[in-house]
Structure 1
């Protein structure tokens, strides 16, 4: 892979090439990507979607929106620092093509901002709830009507693939979805493969999948424009990551490791003294003990250690990226950056405590169980309606349900798979509160 091709400013849905030297420096194309994501309705819905603590009423806890904003800030720093070093290593990118260090920051920030845009309500349990509906629930009856890969898309419903659908899916009057640059779309694609085969290798790019069968042509268009390397020896689709994807992933890993831990402390789920010890272990090489000891309250101490920890891991990720750049461009680097970090033991200790005390707390588990019930019932009603529509046997109730859907939802496709996926996509865009409200209305509990 080469950086000139990887940094494509061409917009999805547009046939024209865009040249870096011809860009308006006051409104760079990569920065427009950020704007388009942040003003989208799908991004706004993240303000009421679970990050760690579902349906939390406390000001302390992060939502998907605040998490995404923080990941984008960390991603911007990562991109700029790497960009500066890449331009020193490959001066022609600046001297000949006009790229600047901030370009890399803008690409990573935009992709990081969008990284959770496809996640359903109720956190990762929402993804699992959609998958379980088709794998073991009433949705299993659709298997006989779908190809193996189409059915797998539904059984392993994936927020990353759904995000790619949201960013690229055309509808009347909005060709090319959000019309982001190919560079940003490439950096967004964390797992550039289809749903089957599952985890064919231990390579990080094979951990999950990144596009539905409905977006296969869009995906191939992106990888061909960017010159990503094919990793498949069969007819199955699998590609190497865009190099900047490793920075988007690192930004997310840094934030959820440190920020989720911070949420657990603020909620009283993790003891302060215990938690501070773990954070200090991570930053012991850079901490100023005098400054730390001068802080008199928990909030300030945690804030200081959090900032120091994030900065430490940013610098570590930049160093690791540059050290492995050649292997990354060849598609040979097979792990997440922080998985080969010298701080891996400290990171794992922090994540272990978060899993034990936060992710598996009774409050979280009880609300995730409620989320399963809500999503299962919505899918039961909506997919039955769509299937009856396909068969031409709509009941009066089905007719009423169809009138509930927004006009932007196209359920008139010839393919049952496409219509089922549209329903899943619709449910995935609901906020936690809107999903519960819709559930109550359909149950007659909101009259």
Structure 2
């Protein structure tokens, strides 16, 4: 792979090549990507989607929106630092093509901003709830009428693939989706493969999948334009865009440190016990006098969090540059922080978060409620979508269909497309809207 192709400014529908040196410096194409994402309705809905604690009304606990903004900030720093080093290594990128260090930051920031845009309500339990409906619930009847890959898309419903669908899917009035640059879409695609084969190797890019069958053609076209290395022609398995490693690192840094911070602020993790783990991570950079002067838990945690994020940013940049050749060759097969010298400290922090936060009674109870809500919504809307396809629409189905927005198009042409359309609709709902819709459909007063 080469950086000239990987930094493509092309957008879906372009007929002419976009050159970096011809860009308006006051409104660069990569910065336009960020703007389009942040003004999208799908991004705004993240303000009421679960990060750690579902439906939490506590001011200092993160939602998907605040998490995404923070990941984007960390991603920008990672991209800019790497960009500066890459331009020193490959001066022709700047001298001939006009790329700047901030371009790398803008690409990673935009991709990081969108990294959770496809997540359904109720966090990762929402993905599992959708998958369970098709694997073990009413939706398992579809196994005999869909292709193997189409059915697997549903059984392992994946927020990353759903995000790619949201960013690229055409509909009337929004051709080409958000029409982001191919460089940003490439950086967004952490798992450049279909739902099958499932985990064919231990390569980090094979851990999950990144596109549904409905977007395979779009994905392949973008991958080919970017020059992503083809690892398996039969199954369209590609190597990651190098900047996807930075997007992943930004996410890893934020959920490791900030979910831990939420646990402390919620009282789920004891302050004295927790701060010891953060101090182990940043012991070489603490200003003892400044730290001792801090009076509140929130201030102490905030100070250590800032140091920890800075430490891990520098670590990720160093690992990326040390392995840049292998990354360009598609041979680097692990996450950046998976080989960090701070791996043990990161593991300790994550283990505590899992035990005290992710498996807390409040989180578990709300996730159970989320399963019930999503199962109910899927039963209603998937049932209607199947009946539209078969031409056997009941009076109830007609009423249900009227609750769908006009952007949801169902027909008797393709069953898979109908089912994916209602899954997309449900996935875009915020936690509160999903709960409210479930109550309305079940005649429950709210």
Which residue of structure 2 lines up, in the alignment, with residue 306 of structure 1? Answer: 305
SS of equivalent residue, structure 2 residue 402: helix
Matches within 5 A, 1:375-414: 375-412=374-411, 414=413
Deviations 1:381-439 (A, max 9, x none): 11111111111111110010011100011112611011101111110000000000000
Question: 1:288 Cα shift?
Answer: 1.6
Find the aligned partners of 2:96 and 2:326 in 1 and give their Cα distance.
Answer: 24
* Superposed displacement of residue 297, structure 1: 1.6
Deviations 1:3-40 (A, max 9, x none): 00000001123232100000000000000000000000
- Partner secondary structure for residue 217 of structure 1: helix
The answer for the alignment partner of 2:418 in structure 1 is 419
Q: Does 1:104 align with 2:101?
A: no
Is 2:49 the counterpart of 1:49? yes
Structure 1: how far apart are the matches of 2:157 and 2:315? 33
Mapping 1:132-281, distance limit 5 Å: 132-232=132-232, 235-281=234-280
Q: TM-score, normalised by structure 1?
A: 0.99
Report the alpha carbon displacement of residue 209 of structure 1 after superposing the two structures with TM.
Answer: 0.2
Deviations along 1:370-391, whole A, 9 cap, x unmatched? 0000000100011111111111
Instruction: Name the counterpart of 1:92.
Output: 92
What's the secondary structure of 2:238's corresponding residue? coil
State how many pairs are aligned.
446
Kept in 1: contact 2:384–2:401 (CA 8 A): yes
Secondary structure of 1:401's counterpart equals: helix
**Cα shift at 1:142:** 0.9
Question: 2-side partners of 1:193 and 1:423: how far apart?
Answer: 23
**What SS does structure 1 have at the residue aligned with 2:230?**
coil
SS of 1:244's equivalent in the other structure is helix
Contact map agreement 2:391 2:412 (CA 8 A) in 1: no
Moved over 3 A (4+): none
Residue aligning to 2:295: 296
**Post-superposition shift, 1:337?**
0.2
Residue in structure 2 matched with residue 131 of structure 1 by the alignment: 131
Contact kept? 2:389, 2:418, Cα under 8 Å: no
Give the structure 2 partner of residue 21 of structure 1. Answer: 21
Partners in 2 of 1:203 and 1:389 — Cα distance? 41
Q: Structure 1 CA distance, aligned partners of 2:282 and 2:141?
A: 53
List runs of 5+ in structure 2 lacking aligned partners. Answer: none
3-state DSSP of counterpart to 2:191: coil
Give the whole-Å Cα distance in 2 for the aligned partners of 1:11 and 1:384.
36
**Residue in 1 that maps onto 2:360:** 361
How far the C-alpha of 1:239 sits from its partner, in A, is 0.4
**CA separation in 1, counterparts of 2:391 and 2:317?**
57
State how 1:59-74 maps to structure 2 within 5 Å: 59-74=59-74
Work out the CA distance in 2 between the residues paired with 1:81 and 1:319: 10
Partner of 1:345: 344
TM-superposed deviation, 1:446: 2.8
The answer to whether the Cα contact below 8 Å between 2:121 and 2:427 also exists between their aligned partners in 1 is: yes
Q: Which moved more, 1:320-329 or 1:294-303?
A: 294-303
Pairwise CA distance, 1:294: 1.7
Tell me by how many angstroms 1:365 deviates: 0.2
SS at match of 1:45: helix
Give the Cα separation in 1 of the matches to 2:12 and 2:301.
42
Distance in structure 1 (CA, Å) of the matches to 2:19 and 2:60: 44
CA distance in 2, matches of 1:413, 1:245: 38
- Distance in 2 between the 1:217 and 1:15 partners? 18
Secondary structure of the structure 2 residue equivalent to 1:110: helix
